[in-house]
Amino acid sequence: MAKNEEDKLINDVTNKEYEHGFVTDIESDTFPKGLDENVIRGISAKKEEPEWMLEWRLDAFKVWQTMEEPDWAHVKYKKPNFQDISYYSAPKQKPELESLDEVDPELLDTFKRLGISLDEQKRMSGVAVAVDVVMDSVSVKTTFQDTLAKKGIIFMSISDAIKEHPEMVKKYLGTVVPVKDNFYSALNSAVFTDGSFCYIPKGVNCPMELSTYFRINEEGTGQFERTLLIADEGARVSYLEGCTAPQRDENQLHAAVVELIAMDEADIKYSTVQNWYPGDKNGLGGVFNFVTKRAVAEKNAKISWTQVETGSAVTWKYPSTILKGDGAVGEFYSIAVTNNYQQADTGTKMIHLGNNTKSTIISKGISAGHSENSYRGLVSISPNAKNARNFSQCDSLLMGNTCGAHTFPYIEARNPTSHIEHEATTSKISEDQIFYCNQRGIDTEKAVALIVNGFGKEVLNKLPMEFAVEAQKLLEISLEGSVG
């Protein structure tokens, strides 16, 4: 867009604001700190969004202003000052480094232990990669895009989708997680800047795992991500979010919203590995991760959430499924690890609305150090849902005596034909187990990793192959130093 055209546009959208002394420098890459209507107009303008999108954001902002930050979760933290955050930052250009020698050795060490290839290490740490490697990855992406396009699959950034497929975004955005659902979803709706959009047409089986890594115009992970994934009737897709490499970020607050829609007979598998910076050993720093993830499953559709949560200082996250259609299936498999002073309050909600709906919850919490790890889950069976079934299993593994594990299962069964089973266990890694491993030549750190991986096996087995191997190593690294 030409300079004067852009100026004109900005002038148009911010017209009123100038009167009130709108000072955001639209040329700059980062907005000044603070949040008001002008900032939202600014974001929308930067993103070249249509009018309806701006209106949607502004409505969300109004809603958000009437809401209060929730405090029911079993976490303690200093509430963020929402006026002390900058809400727009242009896609970051990572500094180009000459070679891996210039990269933080600690980061490299972690990469190495995760088994990440050299090229990949370079890519992730911003080292200029050799031309052939670039060509290679471009061609991989092109092939990838071609394959998807042939099947009619749309996979792009949410910002592009708003421009290229406005009718679809307009139709579905906010239908699963309404703006007013909660404080953070309202905030996200007002200010989101990154995220993915994905549509799988009727009857199409997506031929590869979709991960944001392959999305063109990759912009890195943002503070307020918005993901919208629609699987049309009979479609199938497996989606990977996050990565196992350590994610350092100066942004303290992350508030993403993920909406999944599985139409009749569709099948969505959504896997997450979350490894945001957890803060240091003394609990200083670290990311606050307040995420709203929800799916709707229509008739005979299936939603499977799998998550491995090892990062963040504070995590607040309940990937949920509304089992709307008859015969819908919801699954939630989760491993949440907390060490040092990390706090996690995570779980799921399974809302049974249809007949013969079925849900499975397997939650594995591992707490070490001074951390607090809570499972919070709701199984709700509506009066109209005949023969609904749920099985929940919540296991906690404690390492040491200074950490906490808590389970808050809520069950609302309002139909007598439903069948609900709940099992919960709490265990500790015993000295005898450690000694047994030691006696076989396995040192204590490896022994802990082995035992923890065994504990989380049912969940790890649900991850796509390449993710699973990395996730296992990640668990090991997350718990380093947790046993004396």
Partner 1 sequence: MLKLKNIKASVEDKDILKGLNLEIKPGEIHAIMGPNGAGKSTLSSVIAGKEKFSVDAGEIEFEGEVINDLAPEERAHKGIFMSFQHPIEIPGVTTTNFVKAAVNAKRVAEGKEELTPGEMLRLIKEKSALLELDRKFLSRSLNEGFSGGEKKRNEIFQMAMLEPKLAILDETDSGLDIDALRIVANGVNMLRSPERSAIVITHYQRLLDYIVPDFVHVLYDGRIVKTGGKELALELEEKGYDWIKEEIDNK
Which spans of this chain sit near partner 1 (rule: CB under 8 A)? 430-433, 435-444, 446, 450-451, 453-458
Instruction: Say how far apart CA 253 and CA 82 lie, in whole Å.
Output: 9
**Measured from the CB of residue 424, what is the shortest distance to partner 1 in angstroms?**
15
- Residues 366 and 336: beta-carbon distance below 8 Å: yes
Report the C-alpha dihedral over residues 140, 143, 144, 149, rounded to 10 degrees.
Answer: 160
- Which are the contacts of 259, defined by CB distance < 8 A and separation ≥ 6? 172, 173, 174, 175, 176, 177, 227, 228, 229, 294, 295
Residue closer to partner 1, measured from CB, 334 or 343 = 334
Residue closer to partner 1, measured from CB, 68 or 431 = 431
- Residues 229 and 237: beta-carbon distance below 8 Å: yes
Residue closer to partner 1, measured from CB, 137 or 433 = 433
With b meaning 16 or more CB within 10 Å and e meaning fewer, what string describes 193-226? bbbbbbbbbeebebeebbbbebbeeeeebbbbbb
- Separation in Å, CA 321 to CA 20, 132, 274, 332, 350: 44, 44, 20, 9, 5
**Measured from the CB of residue 210, what is the shortest distance to partner 1 in angstroms?**
29
**Measured from the CB of residue 452, what is the shortest distance to partner 1 in angstroms?**
9
**Measured from the CB of residue 109, what is the shortest distance to partner 1 in angstroms?**
18
Residue closer to partner 1, measured from CB, 229 or 397 = 397
Residue closer to partner 1, measured from CB, 221 or 306 = 306
**Measured from the CB of residue 164, what is the shortest distance to partner 1 in angstroms?**
46
Residue closer to partner 1, measured from CB, 197 or 455 = 455
**Measured from the CB of residue 331, what is the shortest distance to partner 1 in angstroms?**
19
**Measured from the CB of residue 451, what is the shortest distance to partner 1 in angstroms?**
6
**Measured from the CB of residue 450, what is the shortest distance to partner 1 in angstroms?**
6
- Residues 278 and 110: beta-carbon distance below 8 Å: no
Residue closer to partner 1, measured from CB, 25 or 458 = 458
**Measured from the CB of residue 301, what is the shortest distance to partner 1 in angstroms?**
30
Report the C-alpha dihedral over residues 329, 335, 341, 343, rounded to 10 degrees.
Answer: 0
Residue closer to partner 1, measured from CB, 372 or 395 = 395
AA identity, residue 434: I
Residue closer to partner 1, measured from CB, 100 or 450 = 450
**Measured from the CB of residue 479, what is the shortest distance to partner 1 in angstroms?**
15
Instruction: Say how far apart CA 245 and CA 266 lie, in whole Å.
Output: 31
- Residues 264 and 229: beta-carbon distance below 8 Å: no
- Residues 381 and 464: beta-carbon distance below 8 Å: no
Residue closer to partner 1, measured from CB, 341 or 455 = 455
**Packing angle of the helix pair 183-191, 51-65 (nearest 10 deg):** 150
Residue closer to partner 1, measured from CB, 266 or 468 = 468
AA identity, residue 151: K
**Measured from the CB of residue 427, what is the shortest distance to partner 1 in angstroms?**
8
